[in-house]
């Protein structure tokens, strides 16, 4: 892995790394018994189902924390343009490529049934990217009217978001329902960043809370966890995210994974699917070996993609959602202006 640049928040990148492992493992194991490793029972299948209460909430919570570091100001056009570049452009390009691969590659789990509705009905896991975009659009008026600038205002907005979450409001079209599902966790991340509650033994409190969550999931999660938009799911998701933040766990290798979290999210499915197909074709049948290899390749492959794609302007924009490289001429011109 590439060394972590100076100035990075190691605890947050560590949590991003954990979220990435959960996500990649999820797609390696499979969403249903007819996908991924095609498991009908066992510890991997059960763990995959239980981690649904933490996986996407953690990704979204961390997005809220990071957003609060560089929030929306008053330039809505610049803000929207930046989010379109960062989220929508890669979603459209990579999502279309992924849908095409699913359609032509033998051994994939599913494919688009009606191409007329491509991206109007979200493609695979790219629903999260589109949902996050809508959340950022909601943030603009909330910030404009300063509703998130106080504990009371933010808690009131969270309450409304929680009610919409529990009401199952929204539609899968354009990932609107996904935005309602994720929004409370995003707001929770903003709250923890803007109005942190200090405890003398914060790490101990975090560990105790996380232990309670884990014990509940292990013994009662499959029976009483409820759907992903239930009150129990919201309570588990918020509790696990907040407890992990308070623990403040730091790991260099997890942080180095977390540094590439967005690219891993965008590209891991290409590598998990390819590894499963190739290793099974080579005669590998051991489930645990397929799981370990698929997860490792699903994490490492996107990192290689970013290292290569970052070198070229067109790939930076289409594949990573980053700004294009500044031309050498433009840089020389700016240096000349400064020296003059």
Q: Rounded to 5 degrees, what are φ and ψ at 133? A: -60, -45
Please choose, from the candidates 307, 261, 295, 270, the residue with its C-alpha nearest in 3D space to the C-alpha of residue 95: 270
- Which string of DSSP letters, residue by residue, matches 192-235? HHHSPPP-TTHHHHHHHHHHHHHHHIIIIIHHH---TTSHHHHH
Nearby residues of 152 by Cβ (< 8 Å), 6 or more positions away: none
- In this prediction, residue 192 has a pLDDT band, given cuts at 50, 70 and 90, of very high
Q: What pTM was computed for the model?
A: 0.92
- In this prediction, residue 2 has a pLDDT band, given cuts at 50, 70 and 90, of low
Structure tokens at 313: 């302007």
Q: Which residue has the tokens 């066992």?
A: 42
The per-residue pLDDT for 6 is 62
The per-residue pLDDT for 339 is 36
The angle formed by the CA atoms of residues 143, 230 and 154, to the nearest 5 degrees, is 20
In whole angstroms, what is the distance from residue 229 CA to residue 238 CA?
Answer: 12
Structure tokens at 258: 């977390």
Q: Read off the pLDDT of residues 270-299 as tens digits, 9 standing for 90 and up.
A: 999 999 989 999 999 999 999 999 999 999
Q: Read off the pLDDT of residues 100-112 as tens digits, 9 standing for 90 and up.
A: 988 887 656 566 7
- In this prediction, residue 7 has a pLDDT band, given cuts at 50, 70 and 90, of confident
């Amino acid at each position: 892995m590439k060394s972590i640049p100076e100035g990075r928040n190691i605890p947050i990148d560590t949590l991003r790394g954990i979220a990435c492992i959960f996500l990649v493992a999820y797609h390696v194991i499979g969403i249903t018994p007819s996908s991924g490793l095609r498991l009908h029972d066992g510890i991997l299948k059960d763990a995959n189902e239980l981690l649904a209460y933490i996986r996407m909430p953690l990704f979204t919570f961390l997005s809220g924390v990071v957003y609060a570091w560089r929030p929306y100001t008053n330039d809505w056009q610049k803000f929207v343009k930046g989010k379109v570049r960062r989220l929508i452009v890669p979603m459209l390009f990579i999502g279309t490529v992924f849908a095409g691969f699913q359609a032509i590659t033998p051994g994939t789990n599913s494919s688009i049934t009606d191409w007329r509705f491509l991206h109007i009905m979200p493609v695979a896991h790219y629903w999260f990217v589109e949902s996050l975009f809508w959340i950022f659009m909601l943030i603009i008026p909330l910030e404009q009217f300063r509703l998130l600038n106080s504990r009371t205002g933010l808690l009131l907005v969270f309450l409304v978001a929680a009610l919409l979450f529990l009401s199952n409001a929204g539609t899968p079209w354009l990932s609107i329902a996904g935005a309602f599902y994720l929004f409370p966790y995003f707001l929770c991340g903003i709250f923890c960043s803007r109005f942190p509650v200090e405890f003398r033994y914060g790490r101990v409190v975090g560990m105790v809370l996380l232990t309670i969550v884990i014990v509940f999931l292990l013994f009662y999660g499959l029976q009483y966890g409820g759907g992903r938009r239930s009150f129990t799911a919201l309570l588990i998701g918020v509790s696990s995210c907040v407890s992990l933040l308070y623990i403040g766990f730091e790991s260099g290798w997890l942080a180095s994974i977390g540094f590439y979290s967005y690219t891993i999210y965008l590209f891991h499915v290409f590598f998990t699917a390819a590894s499963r197909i190739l290793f099974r074709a080579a005669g590998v049948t051991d489930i645990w070996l397929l799981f370990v290899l698929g997860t490792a390749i699903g994490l490492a492959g996107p990192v290689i993609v970013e290292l290569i794609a970052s070198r070229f302007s067109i790939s930076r924009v289409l594949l990573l959602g980053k700004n294009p490289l500044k031309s050498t001429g433009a840089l020389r011109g700016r240096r000349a202006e400064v020296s003059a």
